[in-house]
Structures are given as structure tokens and as C-alpha cells.
Amino acid sequence: MRGTAQVPASKSESNRALIIRALAGAGELHNLSDANDTQLMQRLLLDPTAAEFNAEDAGTVMRFLTAYLVMTGRQTELTGTARMQERPIRVLVDALRELGARIEYQGQEGYPPLQLLGRTPAPATEESADFTELKVRGDISSQYISALLMVGPTLPHGLRIWLTGKVGSRPYIRMTLALMQHFGAVCRDLGEVLEVRPQAYTPTDYTVEGDWSAASYWYAVVALAPDGSHLTLPTLRRYSWQGDQAIVGIMAHLGVHTEFLADEQVRLSKTAVGSGFSQDFTDCPDLAQTVAVVAAALGVPVLMTGLESLRIKETDRIAALQTELAKFGGFLTDEGDERFRVSSTGFRVNGQSVATYHDHRMAMAFAPLALLGPLTIEDPKVVRKSYPQFWRELEKAGFNTDPAPAPVF
């Protein structure tokens, strides 16, 4: 296994940059993701008069547009797929209401779809001379916090957010703040407090980095490939804002060495597999499926923590992993207190069919197992959400697929 694999641009950076540019009023964005979530965000932001916005199954689109649309005075309905209507949004809605937003639930209380009725400027429940203040739970989704931060500069008193409880995916919060600063916002991360000064964004340009979440599937490929294998991945930075760059250290335990090259490239090479280890996924939950599959395949026991948010993703990813790993002889065992252990007994790949649960990461996490034997990935088009060219890139790397895939848009 040798060559170069192209990874898409970061969906997380792209969707944040699109919202901030819309608030700034101008600016050129380069290397935007071709993921469905980003293409969807672009289309919706370009429709100034729609009576309904459909975020489909895109979490960032639903959460970010809720804040953007209502705080910019739009009156419209915001809906999504059946699964999206099962994903909670009360924490964000409650916070926006404190900022004067008028939002009504169209179905079950606390869940989409939402009727957005604009904003009545009003002070938050707690306000200092400098900031409008909010208390926001950080233990459900960092996307709520990012949505609030991005509209913070547009508020007359700015915004001070007090984070309560365990904060998950903090690197995504730092990414949001860094992009806001790139567009001229004045903001600070003080740990349990986030501050945003009232100041208009400055139109500017930005080039989006490659996606480390997508790169994780190539780490899995190298981990399962024969000895001597290596791959080069372009557009990835040594100093990244993306929390999923944690894959570099995690995969070192699973036999993949990372070398950072010039021109924003990394070279992955096959090395010796280590022994068992523990990993907290609080800041990088999107890596959990990839790591669980590779660890089970290699017979490396891993204690996984920080998986709380996986139950409210595109599917219940913990339950999905448990079901699909069992088909191969792998196990994700609940040890209580939100601790899960990966193990395996007689792990084999011999023609099993993997259900994807409408989840792009299930498809891509299990696909590298084809290096160990034939398998079927059900509903392969789910990859369009984040990595439309995934199957084409696998074929270029030497994988055989039947039927041969077309780009998924």
C-alpha cells in the first residue's frame, strides 16, 4: 500500500467560515469542503427569502443556522430529517431566547423543527456593564456553544458564556474562536468562561485546511495494511485547529507513524503495533468508530472514555458499533461509568455485511477491513455527508469495489 490519497477540506472549518463570512458580509473562502453538509450550508445561506430551511441530517447546519437566522431577524421554519428531529436542541434554543430570540417548537418540545420568529432585543437574565451573560451546559454538544459564539460580536454588549458541567469537544470551540479572530472578532477563552466583544466582523479571505477526521480512515488503512506500507496525505497542517489531529498520537499505539512534510503534507508509515492503552475521546468523538474498529481487528485492547456525545449523533454510534463489531468477533463492552472496552476473539473478515445506520462514519470506519477480507458496506452513498470521493480514493489506492463507485454528490 503506497501512494497519495486526497482528503477533503475540513467540513467543520468550512461551515464555521461560511457563517462568519455571512455575518461579515464579504470575504473569499478557498478550498471549501465538497461534503454535502457544506454544500447544503452554502445553498441555504444564498437563499434570503425561503419560507423553510431544511438542514437534512447536518448537525452543524441545524445548530449554526438556528442562531444565525434568528439573530439576524429572519422569520422562517428550520427543519431536518426524521433523525434530526430526534436530536435535542433545547440548550441552544433556551440560550437564544435569553438573548431575545423568538423561537417556537413545531413538534416535540426541545427538538426540531423550529419556527424562527426573529429577535426582540432584550437583556439576558444576567448582564454586567461589559457583557451579556449566559450560562450554557457544555456536556451535550459544543456546536451549541459555537453557534452562540459566532453571533456574539453582533450583540450590543457582546457575550460572556459561562460553561457548566463537563465540556466536550473543546477543540471545536477553540477552532470557532480562532476563525472568529481571523475575521476580526475580539474574543477570549478563559477556561470556564468565553468572552466575545461587541465588534463587527472584518471581511477577509481564508483557506480551509484538509480534514483530519477524513484522514483518520487512511490511518486505519495503513494500520491494517501489509508491512512496508506508506501513504502521503496532502493539505494537513502540523499546527491544526482541528481536535481530530489527535489521531496522530492514537494511531501511534496501533502501528502508524506520522511524519510531517513540507507543503502541508503528512506521510504515514506502517510500524510495530503497541500494547493496550486507554483513550479519552471527549475532545475527538468522531475518531471513536475508526479506533474501535482498528483496535478490534488488531487485537489491541483499548479502554475508551468520553463517548457520551456518540449517542446523539447521526445514529446511536455506541449501539451501532456494538452490533457491527460483533459480526466480526469484536466487542465494545460497557464497563459502567461511561467506560467502554474494545476487545476481540477470533476476529475475521469473510464476507460480512455492515449496516451503516444512515451514518457516514460507520461506512468509512469499517471499509478498511477489506484489507483483511471481503465485506459489504450497505448504503455506501452515506459518505456524501463528509467525503463524497471516499470510494474513488479507495479504488485509486488499490481496493477493489463491486460495483465500481461513482463520485457521490
* DSSP secondary structure letters along 131-181: -EEEEEE-SS-HHHHHHHHHHGGGSTT-EEEEEESPPP-HHHHHHHHHHHH
Comparing 162-171, 227-236, 245-254, 320-329, the range with the smallest average pLDDT is 162-171
- The SS3 call for residue 331 is strand
Average pLDDT of the segment spanning 228-242: 95
**Dihedral class, residue 78 (left if φ above 0, else alpha if ψ from -120 to 50, else beta):** beta
- pLDDT tens for 348-374 read 999 999 999 999 999 999 999 999 999
For residue 310, the model assigns a pLDDT of 83
- CB burial of 204-214 (b: ≥16 within 10 Å; e: otherwise) equals eebebbbbbbb
Write the class of the CATH domain 10-207. alpha beta
pLDDT grade, residue 165 (50/70/90)? confident
Query: Does the pLDDT of residue 176 top 80, yes or no?
Result: yes
Q: Which residues lie below 8 Å from residue 136, measured CB to CB, with a gap of 6+? A: 91, 95, 144, 145, 148, 161, 162, 163, 164
pLDDT grade, residue 408 (50/70/90)? low
Distance of CA 301 to the CA centre of its chain: 25
Asked if 130 is an active-site residue, the reply is no
Query: Does the pLDDT of residue 129 top 60, yes or no?
Result: no
For residue 23, the model assigns a pLDDT of 97
Q: How long is the chain?
A: 409
For residue 404, the model assigns a pLDDT of 57
Element (H, E) at 90: helix 90-98
Task: Supply 120's cell numbers.
Answer: 426582540
For residue 126, the model assigns a pLDDT of 46
- Residues 57 and 382: beta-carbon distance below 8 Å: no
- pLDDT tens for 104-128 read 999 999 999 999 999 987 554 444 4
Compute CA distances 316 → 94, 96, 134, 140, 145, whole Å.
24, 27, 30, 14, 22
- pLDDT tens for 270-303 read 999 999 999 999 989 999 999 999 999 999 999 9
DSSP string, 333-401: EE-STTEEEEEESS---SS-EE--TT-HHHHHHHGGGGGTS--EESSGGGGGGT-TTHHHHHHHTT---
Query: Does the pLDDT of residue 138 top 90, yes or no?
Result: no
Compute CA distances 216 → 92, 113, 128, 220, 292, whole Å.
30, 33, 44, 6, 12
- pLDDT tens for 191-220 read 999 999 999 999 999 999 999 999 999 999
Report d(CA 339, CA 44) in Å as an integer: 39
**Which is nearest to 67 in space by CA: 184, 131, 161?**
161
Placement of cell 488503512 in the chain: 221
Query: Does the pLDDT of residue 166 top 80, yes or no?
Result: yes
Per-domain residue ranges of the chain: 10-207, 212-396
Tell me the average pLDDT of the chain.
Answer: 93
For residue 405, the model assigns a pLDDT of 57
Say how many CA atoms lie within 13 Å of 254 toward its Cβ.
30
Backbone dihedral angles phi then psi of residue 207, each to the nearest 5 degrees: -110, 125
pTM for the whole thing? 0.86
Which residues partner with 54 through β-bridges?
79
- The SS3 call for residue 195 is strand
Report d(CA 401, CA 383) in Å as an integer: 15
- Residues 18 and 61: beta-carbon distance below 8 Å: no
The rounded radius of gyration (Å) of the Cα atoms in the chain is: 21
- pLDDT tens for 382-393 read 999 999 999 999
**Per CATH, is 212-396 categorized as 3.65.10.10?**
yes
Report d(CA 59, CA 37) in Å as an integer: 9
Query: Does the pLDDT of residue 174 top 80, yes or no?
Result: yes
Report d(CA 406, CA 336) in Å as an integer: 43
- Residues 232 and 265: beta-carbon distance below 8 Å: yes
Using alpha carbons only, what angle is made at residue 9 by residues 255 and 5, rounded to the nearest 5 degrees? 45
Among residues 34, 211, 244, 286, which one is catalytic?
Answer: 286
Placement of cell 468522531 in the chain: 286
